[in-house]
Structure 1
Amino acid sequence: MAIKAYVLVVTDPGKTRHVHEAINGIPHVVELHEVMGPYDIVVEIEVDSLQDIPTILGERIRTIDGIQSTTSLVTLPD
C-alpha cells in the first residue's frame, strides 16, 4: 500500500514558478498545485515506505533554490 504525504512549500518572492517547475520532475510527485495563502505550493507525493519521505524531502525538494520552508503532512492509512 502506498503512503501519501502532502508537502506545503513556501517560496522566495518571485520564485514560485521556478520551484514549481523544478518539483514537477521529481519522482514520486503525483500532484502539484500553486495555491494562495500562507503556502505557495502544495505537493502530493506517494511512496512505498515511510522512510522514503525524508529522503525525497531532504535530497530532492528542500535543495531547490528558492524554497524558504516546507511543512510535511503524512496521511493516515484508511
Structure 2
Amino acid sequence: MIKAYILVQTEVGSSAQVTHAMSEIPGVVSADTVAGPYDVVAVVQAPTVSELGKEVISRVQAIPRITRTTTCTVVDL
C-alpha cells in the first residue's frame, strides 16, 4: 500500500468545506483543518503509485476552492 500526505492551501474561509469534501473521497484516510502555511492536511492510501495519482490525488485537486496542493509520498528508508 502506498501512503502519502497531501498539504492543501485553500481560498480564505473555505478550509472546513474542503476538509469535508476531501474526507468523502475513497482513499483519503483522514483530512484535518490545520493552522500554518497549509489549511488542510490529508493522509491518503492506494494500492499502487498509479492509483494514488489517478484515483485519489486527481480527485482531491478537482475540489473547488483548492488553490494549491503538495503531495509528500511516504518512503521506507
TM-score by length of 1: 0.91
Cα deviation for residue 26 of structure 1 reads: 0.3
Equivalent residue number for residue 39 of structure 2: 40
Kindly tell me the number of residue pairs found equivalent between the two proteins: 76
What are the ranges of 5 or more consecutive residues in structure 1 without an aligned counterpart? none
Please tell me the residue identity of whatever aligns with 2:57.
L
Larger helix fraction of residues: 2
SS of equivalent to 2:20 = helix
TM-score by length of 2: 0.92
Cα deviation for residue 57 of structure 1 reads: 1.5
SS of equivalent to 1:31 = strand
SS of equivalent to 2:16 = helix
Between the aligned residues of both structures, percent identity stands at 33
What are the ranges of 5 or more consecutive residues in structure 2 without an aligned counterpart? none
Kindly provide the CA deviation profile for residues 20-52 of structure 1, in whole angstroms up to 9, marking residues without a partner as x: 111111001111111111000000001100111
Paired residues for 1:16-35 under 5 Å: 16-35=15-34
Point out 4+ residue stretches in structure 1 off by more than 4 angstroms.
none
Equivalent residue number for residue 57 of structure 1: 57
The alignment's C-alpha RMSD in Å is 1.1
